[in-house]
């Protein structure tokens, strides 16, 4: 098995070959590390690599396999992890200057689960700072480029996680999704990415952005691979009080069962003039593929969806303003050493030394998008505005969830575009925060309502850029979603295309 064969394989294929002895975990890990060394300079998906540690881990797994010892379900398969998840003793930067040297004293639950499954963690991937963004351009540390066109953004905030899988630098990656941050970059990079139901995966050790919206999920080339990874990530965790006490189905065992009489709902507004023509054609064609497989398609209404971006930005910014208050230069991370009062125009007079330190630390350590959201959230929660903004948004959230509950009485999954357009150019939206927020148009409502959703490749546009099909299902219907995605991937081969090396 040569390196090209390895890095172009799916995780499922790798597991077969590892199981039959056609290759060793060390060979697989080395192949990916070589690919990263030769190619990531052009893409910038990784912030840090675990070269030696990964090879040691791989060697240990090979030894245990040789001795006939029991192995975890992902034994020997390399996995990349978004740098928003804590890895004990190893850099966890959240792509922020605030945490650029931070080494957490504990592993995230999902990291522990990956270790227990004998996955080989190869490195941490780039993201928008503290997960705030839709293009990974808000990373304070480096740029990540779309492997299909390096002048374009990979999407965000899990841009590194999506790009490294797309560019064959990892077969699997773990991302996070608060407003679309797994599904949107998956769509723009031509890979499969899923946001599970809120509470399906433990958030312990996930650096919090918006606690009622954040979820961790898999990115891979296929729904089958995503299913294998989700099985490992999912499950109740007493350390996360919002995690659900529900058994985890064997997603990968069930995935081959097609869904008879699948009822698909489409929302007419998601196919109107606001969406690029090539995207609409590809998604309509994907729906026709489902019809040819026996699915029944009907139109549904999600009447409050036009308010979803506004609702999302109020709620997520409010929660972020609270969650990011901990970055104060006291316990860990960056502390401002500057004592230059002429730099500041806000505050100073009347600020005691501690408040002054807080303000300067945060001003210097946090990027502009993060500051903008903290400011918006603080404003919306402040006296006099709480009812009009935060409370109002929570009520609209209920209306958005009610829309989905009603729709799912008549359909099994909702299908539509993941984004209104394909990958945009780096720099195109950085000066227009609102335009950037609108890239999340089709994804935020799943986070607001807590349901599950995924994106699968369904075509390419005239510039050869990937187009993603979004499927959404009711809470805890990940199995249905994965089977539906798998059905599509058995009937099409969009997911098999990779960018030219």
Partner 1 sequence: MSLTRQDVEKVSLLARLSLSDEELTVMTSQLGDIVGYVDQLAELETEGVEPMAHAVDVFNVFRDDVVRPSLPRDEALAGAPRDDGECFLVPAVLGD
Which stretch in 58-66, 202-210, 294-302, 371-379 sits in contact with partner 1 by CB under 8 A? 371-379
Task: Say if strands 263-266 and 296-299 run parallel, antiparallel, or are unpaired.
Answer: parallel
Q: Of 175, 196, 329, 466, which lies in the binding site for partner 1, with binding defined by CB under 8 A? A: 329
Of the candidates 256, 323, 285, the residue with the CA atom closest to the CA atom of residue 479: 256
Q: Is 347 in the site for partner 1 (CB under 8 A)?
A: yes
Q: Residue 388 interacts with partner 1 (CB under 8 A)?
A: yes
Q: Which of 238, 256, 427, 501 is in the footprint of partner 1 by CB under 8 A?
A: 238
Give the nearest distance from C-beta 357 to partner 1 in angstroms.
5
In Å, what is the CA distance from 95 to each residue of 83, 84, 203, 214, 369?
7, 8, 19, 17, 12
- Are the CB atoms for 453 and 404 separated by under 8 Å? no
Stretch that binds partner 1, among 51-59, 122-130, 278-286, 313-321 (CB under 8 A): 313-321
In the numeric block, the tokens 């949107």 are attached to: 184
Q: Which of 173, 311, 422, 443 binds partner 1 (CB under 8 A)?
A: 311
Tokens of 371: 């500051």
Q: From the CB of 350, what's the least distance to partner 1, in Å?
A: 9
Query: From the list 53, 91, 143, 394, which residue makes contact with partner 1 (rule: CB under 8 A)?
Result: 394
Q: What is the DSSP string of 347-374?
A: S-TT--HHHHHHHHHHHHHS-HHHHHHH
Counting contacts by CB under 8 A, is residue 357 touching partner 1?
A: yes
What does residue 453 show for φ and ψ, rounded to 5 degrees?
-155, 155
Give the nearest distance from C-beta 455 to partner 1 in angstroms. Answer: 19
Select 401 or 497, whichever has its Cβ closest to partner 1.
401
Give rounded-to-5 percent helix, strand, coil for the chain. Answer: 45, 15, 45
User: CB 232 → partner 1: shortest distance, Å?
Assistant: 21
Give 453's strand partners.
195, 472
Whether residue 243 contacts residue 202, with contact meaning beta carbons closer than 8 Å, is answered with: yes
Least CB distance from residue 360 to partner 1, whole Å?
6
DSSP at 201:
B
In the three-class reduction of DSSP (H, G, I as helix; E, B as strand; rest coil), residue 454 is classed as strand
Which of 358, 494 has the CB closer to partner 1? 358
The answer to whether 374 contacts partner 1 (rule: CB under 8 A) is: yes
CB of 97 to partner 1, least distance (A): 13
Tokens, residue 226: 């995503």
Beta bridge partners of 383: none
**What separation, in Å, do the N-terminal and C-terminal C-alpha atoms of the chain show?**
19
In what helix (H) or strand (E) does residue 341 lie, and over which residues does it extend? none
225 token code pair: 């691979």
The dihedral formed by the CA atoms of 27, 230, 204 and 327, expressed in degrees to the nearest 10: 70
The answer to whether the beta carbons of residues 123 and 174 sit under 8 Å apart is no
- Select the span of 109-117, 196-204, 224-232, 418-426 touching partner 1 (CB under 8 A): 196-204
Interaction of residue 103 with partner 1, rule CB under 8 A = yes
Among 148, 271, 389, 494, binds partner 1 (CB under 8 A): 389
Among 349, 352, 409, 462, interactor with partner 1 by CB under 8 A: 352
Is residue 67 near partner 1 by the rule CB under 8 A? no
Per-residue contact flags (x/-) with partner 1 for residues 23 to 62, judged by CB under 8 A? ----------------------------------------
The catalytic position among 25, 135, 181, 321 is 181
d(Cα 322, Cα 301) in Å, to the nearest integer? 34
* Neighbour tally for 72: CB within 10 Å: 17
Q: What are 65's two structure tokens?
A: 């396999």
103 close to 90: Cβ distance less than 8 angstroms = yes
Which one of 157, 252, 305, 321 is the catalytic residue?
157
| Nearer of residues 219 and 396 to partner 1, judged by Cβ | 396
Nearer Cβ to partner 1, position 151 or 375?
Answer: 375
When binding is defined by CB under 8 A, the residue of 203, 362, 483, 495 that contacts partner 1 is: 362
Among 33, 141, 366, 469, binds partner 1 (CB under 8 A): 366
Min dist. Cβ of residue 141 to partner 1 (A): 18
| Residue 301 engages partner 1 in binding (rule: CB under 8 A) | no
Q: Rounded to whole angstroms, how far apart are CA atoms 108 and 88?
A: 8
387 binds partner 1 (CB under 8 A): no
User: How many Å apart are CA 230 and CA 228, to the nearest integer?
Assistant: 6
Options 331, 349, 493, 500; binder of partner 1; rule CB under 8 A: 331
Give the residue, chosen from 195, 304, 429, 495, that forms a contact with partner 1 under the rule CB under 8 A: 304
Per-residue DSSP letters for 28-69?
HHHHHHHHHHHHHHHH--EEEE-HHHHHHHHHHHHHHHHTT-
Query: Does residue 124 bind partner 1 (CB under 8 A)?
Result: no
The span from the CA of 185 to the CA of 187, in Å, is 5
Closest CB 304 distance from partner 1, rounded Å: 7
Quick one: 220 or 244, whose CB is closer to partner 1?
Answer: 244
What's the closest the beta carbon of residue 113 comes to partner 1, in angstroms? 20
157 classed as catalytic:
yes
Instruction: Count residues binding partner 1 (CB under 8 A).
Output: 77
Rg (CA), the chain: 22
Catalytic positions are 82, 157, 181
């Amino acid at each position: 098995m040569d390196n090209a064969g390895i890095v172009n394989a799916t995780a499922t294929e790798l597991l077969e070959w590892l199981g039959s002895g056609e290759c060793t975990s060390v060979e697989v890990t080395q192949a990916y590390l070589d690919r990263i060394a030769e190619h990531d300079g052009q893409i910038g998906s990784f912030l840090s690599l675990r070269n030696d540690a990964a090879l040691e881990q791989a060697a240990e797994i090979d030894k245990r396999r040789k001795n006939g010892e029991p192995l975890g379900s992902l034994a020997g398969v390399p996995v990349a992890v978004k740098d928003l998840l804590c890895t004990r003793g190893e850099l966890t930067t959240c792509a922020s200057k605030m945490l650029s040297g931070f080494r957490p004293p504990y592993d995230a639950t999902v990291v522990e689960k990956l270790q227990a499954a004998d996955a080989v963690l190869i490195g941490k991937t780039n993201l928008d700072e503290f997960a705030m963004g839709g293009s990974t351009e808000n990373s304070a540390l480096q740029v990540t480029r779309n492997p299909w066109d390096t002048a374009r953004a990979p999407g965000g905030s899990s841009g590194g996680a999506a790009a490294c899988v797309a560019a064959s630098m990892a077969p699997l990656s773990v991302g996070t999704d608060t407003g679309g941050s797994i599904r949107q970059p998956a769509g723009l990079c031509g890979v499969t990415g899923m946001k599970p139901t809120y509470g399906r995966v433990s958030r312990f050790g996930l650096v919090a952005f918006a606690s009622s919206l954040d979820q961790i999920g898999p990115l891979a080339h296929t729904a089958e691979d995503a299913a294998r990874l989700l099985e490992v990530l999912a499950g109740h965790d007493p350390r996360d009080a919002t995690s659900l006490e529900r058994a985890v189905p064997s997603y990968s065992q069930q995935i081959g069962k097609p869904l008879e009489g699948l009822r698909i709902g489409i929302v007419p507004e998601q196919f109107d003039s606001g969406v690029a023509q090539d995207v609409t054609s590809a998604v309509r064609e994907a729906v026709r593929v489902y019809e040819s497989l026996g699915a029944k398609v009907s139109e549904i209404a999600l009447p409050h969806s036009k308010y979803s971006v506004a609702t999302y930005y109020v709620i997520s910014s409010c929660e972020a303003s609270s969650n990011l208050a901990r970055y104060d230069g006291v316990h860990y991370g960056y502390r401002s050493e500057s004592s230059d009062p002429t730099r500041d125009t806000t505050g100073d007079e009347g600020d005691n030394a501690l408040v002054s330190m807080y303000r300067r630390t945060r001003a210097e350590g946090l990027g502009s998008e993060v500051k903008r959201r903290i400011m918006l959230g603080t404003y919306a929660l402040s006296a006099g505005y709480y009812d009009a903004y935060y409370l109002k948004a929570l009520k609209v959230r209920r209306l958005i969830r009610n829309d989905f509950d009603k729709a799912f009485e008549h359909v099994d999954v909702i299908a539509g575009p993941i984004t209104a357009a394909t990958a945009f150019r780096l720099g195109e939206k950085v000066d227009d925060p609102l335009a950037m927020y609108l890239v999340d148009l089709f994804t935020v409502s799943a986070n607001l309502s807590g349901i599950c959703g995924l994106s699968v490749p369904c075509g390419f546009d005239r510039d050869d850029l990937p187009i993603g099909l979004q499927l959404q299902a009711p809470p805890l219907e990940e199995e249905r979603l994965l089977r539906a995605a798998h059905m599509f991937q058995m009937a099409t081969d969009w997911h098999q295309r990779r960018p030219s090396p």
